[in-house]
């Protein structure tokens, strides 16, 4: 061991959603010494606490890696933003706080590929362990977990009209989109507590920081994993202008997310051999799967004006901001305590699908956002339409051999033309909802993409011009039991001992919902694996119909 090195039992790289969970759970054992390294700074920001201020913090370079994709060949060679949290709590500290699980068939499709302990029945107990739901403890919800989950509370005539129009268009209203039957439209849960954001840092890390066996170092950028033969024994990181070393007696655990984790592995000599040699990196393990299988949810913003002044556009005026801020500061209540995106759901846009194929988030004002993160509000509403399960696959690769240089991120969006068709049909289904009576009576008018996108060809062109990601990159270090898998079912890196990956990169496929709840579930489950504890007993629920599971498996090309 180098003379200046610190030694711990476990080193966790990345204090995002997964890293915060692991740090808290592993240090429940007072004999276990844990080092948590975070490249960003502490999450002490008033804007981060206020749910409605999400746009203020989301674009702040203090807390965001602000990555950008490579030019997308099928998106008019556009680069699309790839924001990732760079602070304690990671993206859970800057996201929109939507708390959703995916359809149970998504997880059962993992199990169908040999990952037997990752079925929905096996995952549900860990979803429950992570949360304190304001619905109370039940078969589907936790009652004493670190993340506080609340039902939507913002009153809005826009939300009421969207629900009524959805029913008129043939969609079901669902009271609990995290419940046993969540296909339909309803109010969204969010991770908030007493009107404040409840990130993984707030829920898991802050209570654990009181423990003497947890060491946290921020502004510490990990440069590489230190290997001795085929075993990970420590990490090298930069902090305070110095290169420092820390050694792990048991394991190094990578929780940097689907962008930073594969980058760090490749910088450490673990990845596609030819690519590493091109960067002058000595190959320790030739593993072509690292950085591959990159997925995200495609997202299309649609905006509507409204002649009736019933939206929450008033929040954007100077007086409105003062009113919202004052009410939040005094009482932690009012619109400031809302994450704004409080209604949404899942819909089938493809007639031959047994599963929902698109996802909605709706805000009760028309938001005209600018690239710098500033925006103006006007009467109407904004709707984000997302494809749940894309078929296109991308790749992440190194730009250089330096940890300080952003990697190359190529999603290859729309490289599979079936993704274009699903998004096109999603726009049509959306228009069936927004053209119904309740919204029509409010004088709503689609202003984007509007009449410029009516025919199939015009819709496809608009998608290529405007579609972006939903900021859910995943799957670049996928788990599996096949030879091409990067990690095994217990998230241990194949071919290297003492090295584990616990974050969104291990998903075999990107599940059909916002990812934060699933990432936290993965980390909860992994913490028991790492500690050698028995897994929680699976929930006593039936497996999903094989036809639904096979639909996902066939879509994903496994």
Strands (E), 287-434: 298-306, 343-347, 358-363, 366-369, 375-378, 380-387, 395-397, 408-410
- Tell me: is residue 47 an annotated ligand-binding position: no
Distance CA(303)–CA(552), nearest Å, equals: 31
CA distances from 5 to 167, 224, 231, 402 (A): 62, 14, 18, 22
Distance CA(72)–CA(79), nearest Å, equals: 6
Closest CA to 236 of 223, 219, 217: 223
Residue 216: its H or E element: strand 214-217
Look at residue 327 and give its three-state secondary structure: helix
Distance CA(460)–CA(49), nearest Å, equals: 39
Which residues, other chains included, contact 532 with Cβ-Cβ below 8 Å and sequence gap of 6+?
none
Beta bridge partners of 87: 41
The Cα angle at residue 491 between residues 84 and 298, in degrees rounded to 5: 35
Which residues, other chains included, contact 79 with Cβ-Cβ below 8 Å and sequence gap of 6+?
68, 69, 70, 71, 72
Phi, psi for 338 (deg, rounded to 5): -105, 145
Residue 472 designated active-site? yes
CA distances from 318 to 46, 136, 158, 321, 377 (A): 18, 38, 22, 5, 12
| Pair type for strands 67-68 and 285-286 | unpaired
- Tell me: is residue 98 an annotated ligand-binding position: yes
Using the 8-state DSSP alphabet, how is residue 91 labeled?
G
Tell how many helices (H) and how many strands (E) occur in the chain: 16, 26
Q: In this structure, are residues 557 and 391 in contact, taking their beta carbons and an 8 Å threshold?
A: yes
Beta bridge partners of 448: 303
3-state helix, strand, coil in the chain (%, to 5): 30, 25, 45
Distance CA(381)–CA(245), nearest Å, equals: 51
- Tell me: is residue 96 an annotated ligand-binding position: yes
- State the catalytic residue, choosing from 103, 361, 472, 509: 472
Closest CA to 377 of 309, 325, 299, 430: 309
Distance CA(139)–CA(292), nearest Å, equals: 37
- Tell me: is residue 494 an annotated ligand-binding position: no
Distance CA(190)–CA(343), nearest Å, equals: 11
Which residues belong to the annotated binding site for FAD? 95-98
Which residues belong to the annotated binding site? 95-98
Q: Which residues are catalytic?
A: 472
């Amino acid at each position: 061991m180098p003379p200046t090195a610190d030694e711990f039992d476990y080193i966790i790289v990345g204090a995002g959603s997964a890293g915060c969970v692991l740090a808290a759970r592993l240090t429940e054992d007072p004999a276990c010494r844990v080092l948590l390294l975070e490249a960003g700074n502490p999450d002490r920001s008033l804007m981060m606490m206020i749910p409605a201020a999400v746009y203020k913090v989301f674009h702040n370079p203090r807390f965001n890696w602000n990555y950008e994709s490579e030019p997308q060949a099928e998106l008019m060679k556009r680069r699309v933003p790839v924001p990732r949290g760079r602070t304690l709590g990671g993206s859970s500290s800057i996201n929109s706080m939507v708390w959703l699980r995916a359809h149970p068939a998504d997880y059962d499709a993992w199990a169908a590929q040999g990952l037997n302990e990752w079925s929905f029945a096996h995952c549900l107990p860990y979803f429950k362990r992570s949360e304190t739901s304001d619905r109370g403890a039940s078969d589907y919800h936790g009652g004493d977990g670190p993340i506080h989950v609340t039902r939507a509370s913002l009153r809005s005539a826009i939300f009421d009209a969207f629900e009524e129009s959805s029913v008129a268009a043939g969609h079901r209203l669902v009271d609990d989109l995290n419940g046993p039957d969540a296909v339909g439209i309803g109010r969204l849960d969010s991770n908030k507590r007493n009107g404040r954001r409840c990130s993984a840092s707030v829920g898991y890390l802050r209570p654990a920081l009181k423990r003497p066996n947890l060491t946290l170092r921020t502004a510490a950028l990990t440069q590489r994993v230190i290997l001795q033969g085929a075993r990970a024994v420590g990490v090298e990181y930069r902090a305070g202008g110095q290169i420092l070393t820390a050694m792990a007696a048991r394991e190094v655990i990578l929780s940097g997310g689907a962008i930073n984790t594969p980058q760090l592995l490749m910088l450490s000599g673990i990845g596609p051999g030819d690519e590493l040699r091109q960067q002058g990196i000595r190959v320790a393990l030739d593993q072509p799967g690292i950085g591959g299988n990159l997925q995200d949810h495609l997202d299309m913003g649609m905006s509507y004006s409204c002649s009736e002044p019933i939206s929450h556009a008033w929040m954007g005026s100077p007086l409105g901001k003062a009113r919202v801020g004052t009410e939040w500061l005094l009482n932690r209540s009012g619109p400031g305590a809302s994450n704004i995106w409080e209604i949404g759901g899942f819909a089938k846009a493809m007639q031959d699908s047994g599963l929902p194929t698109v996802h909605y988030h709706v805000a009760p004002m028309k938001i005209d956002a600018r690239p710098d993160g500033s925006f103006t509000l006007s009467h109407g509403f904004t709707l984000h339409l997302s494809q749940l399960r894309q078929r296109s696959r991308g790749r992440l690769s190194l730009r250089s051999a330096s940890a300080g240089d952003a990697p190359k991120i190529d999603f290859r969006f729309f490289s599979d033309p079936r993704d274009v068709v699903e998004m096109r049909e999603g726009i049509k289904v959306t228009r069936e909802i927004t053209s119904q009576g309740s919204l029509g009576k409010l004088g709503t008018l689609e202003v984007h993409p509007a009449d410029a996108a009516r025919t199939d060809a015009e819709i496809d062109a608009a998608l290529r011009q405007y579609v972006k990601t939903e900021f859910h990159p995943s799957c670049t270090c996928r788990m599996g039991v096949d030879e091409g898998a990067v990690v095994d079912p217990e998230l241990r890196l194949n071919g290297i001992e003492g090295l584990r990956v616990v974050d969104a990169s291990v998903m075999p496929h990107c599940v059909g919902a916002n990812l934060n709840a699933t990432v936290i579930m993965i980390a909860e489950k992994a913490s028991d694996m790492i500690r050698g504890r028995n897994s929680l007993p699976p929930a006593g629920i039936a497996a999903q119909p094989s036809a639904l599971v096979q639909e996902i498996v066939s879509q994903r090309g496994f």
